[in-house]
Amino acid sequence: MQAVGLITEYNPLHNGHLYHLQQAKQQTGADCTVVVMSGNWLQRGEPAILDKWTRAELALQAGADLIVELPVFFATQPAHLFAQGGVEILSALGCESLVFGAEHPELDFDQLATALPDDPQAFHQYNATFATQFNTVLQQTTGVSLTKSNDMLGFCYYLANQRLGQPMRLVPIKRQVADHNQTTIKDASLFASGTAVRQAARAGDWAALAPVVPAATLTQLQTQRLQQWADFWPYLQYQLLTADVTQTHQDDQMAEGLEYRMKEMVQNATSFEDFLHLVKSKRYTYTRLQRVATAALLQLTTAEVQQAQAHNYVRVLGFNRRGQQYLHQVKKDLPLPLYTKINKDLRLHGLELDYRAGRVYQLINEQPQDLYRKPLIHLA
């Protein structure tokens, strides 16, 4: 069996994702679709609107064959590290190709790669994001900027893929109609951005949502509690009010001096949104601040995140019959540890960061997220 890989968040799964899944198998001719999906905390530094098990179930219903989790120590990172984690897992699972959405699939990544400096530390400035630093160099050397988020992420997939001993074939698929950050659902459209879908769901605008999401997604959005940062704000506020700055300084992605600003601004903030506005400056994007807030909430330190990134693994969330057959085919040669459930030992050693992230998410979700949860199985 041959497999095609996708790196996703499905927050939540909408018609654009469904098109992506269908095109992945159609354009590659693969027998099995392997999806690496972020867990309960996402790349933009926010909680998923639906928990990872619900989103994995929706992915299986949409046609994915094997769903594995992107660990939290990669899922909540800037684009280059998010891409690294997902590409490592897909490569370990023997995928021959990687399909991803792009605003400009015609981009020549080989040419753009010549803009990268030889020094790997060149993009480690505290006061600018990886994307900002890279685009500055890219514009200076090639006259091109990757201004669209999916184009930037696609290029990060390219870079991570090039580092592999046997690179996968990259297959970009043009993003359909809706822009990534579009906030409204257009009349008579079958596609909408994830941002627009989430806003409509939280507003209960089911009539607008029905044409742009699969029926199963609509049902889950209508019947489940929808998570958002506001739910976790009291816990983050408590962390920042009570922790010493020497402790928060160790939080992952905490820039030099940012811990003092966050400590000061949390004193008077009335909500998470208000807190972000108070902390915001030209040095930091809102996304960067949300990632730091996620690290502070989950108490993810730079040291333990970096250590975990050197020990990636494959955590299975669900599969159908094809996915089961493919997993049996590749698991004997799998270069990464394979986990199908978290027991008491793994929650303390090996998968402790994902377990911690799941327990915090569970404070609001109220559904067990990790301990003894077995993969979803669709064998009909």
State how far the Cα of 256 lies from the Cα of 246, in Å rounded to an integer. Answer: 11
Q: Where are the beta strands (DSSP E) in the chain?
A: 3-8, 32-38, 66-70, 97-102, 169-174, 314-320, 338-339, 376-378
Question: Per the annotation, does 105 bind a ligand?
Answer: no
Question: Per the annotation, does 7 bind a ligand?
Answer: yes
Written as one letter, the residue type at 275 is F
Contact yes or no for 350/337 (Cβ under 8 A) = yes
The pair of structure tokens assigned to 171 is 């297959």
Question: Per the annotation, does 10 bind a ligand?
Answer: yes
Contact yes or no for 11/194 (Cβ under 8 A) = yes
State how far the Cα of 367 lies from the Cα of 265, in Å rounded to an integer. Answer: 32
Question: Per the annotation, does 260 bind a ligand?
Answer: no
Question: Per the annotation, does 101 bind a ligand?
Answer: yes
Question: Per the annotation, does 127 bind a ligand?
Answer: no
State how far the Cα of 25 lies from the Cα of 27, in Å rounded to an integer. Answer: 6
Strands 66-70 and 314-320: antiparallel
State how far the Cα of 250 lies from the Cα of 301, in Å rounded to an integer. Answer: 5
Contact yes or no for 53/249 (Cβ under 8 A) = no
Question: Per the annotation, does 16 bind a ligand?
Answer: yes
**What's the chain's Rg over C-alpha atoms?**
20
Question: Per the annotation, does 15 bind a ligand?
Answer: yes
Question: Per the annotation, does 124 bind a ligand?
Answer: no
Question: Per the annotation, does 6 bind a ligand?
Answer: no
Cα–Cα distances in Å, from 85 out to 113, 122, 311?
20, 20, 10
The pair of structure tokens assigned to 112 is 């753009």
Cα–Cα distances in Å, from 98 out to 15, 76, 174?
20, 21, 14
Bridge partners, residue 315, by sequence: 69, 339
State how far the Cα of 39 lies from the Cα of 68, in Å rounded to an integer. Answer: 9
Helix axes 302-309, 79-92, angle to 10 degrees: 30
Q: Does residue 7 sit in helix, strand or coil?
A: strand
Strands 32-38 and 314-320: unpaired
Question: Per the annotation, does 20 bind a ligand?
Answer: yes
Q: Which residues define the annotated binding site?
A: 7-20, 101, 150, 175
Residues in the annotated binding site for ATP: 7-20, 101, 150, 175
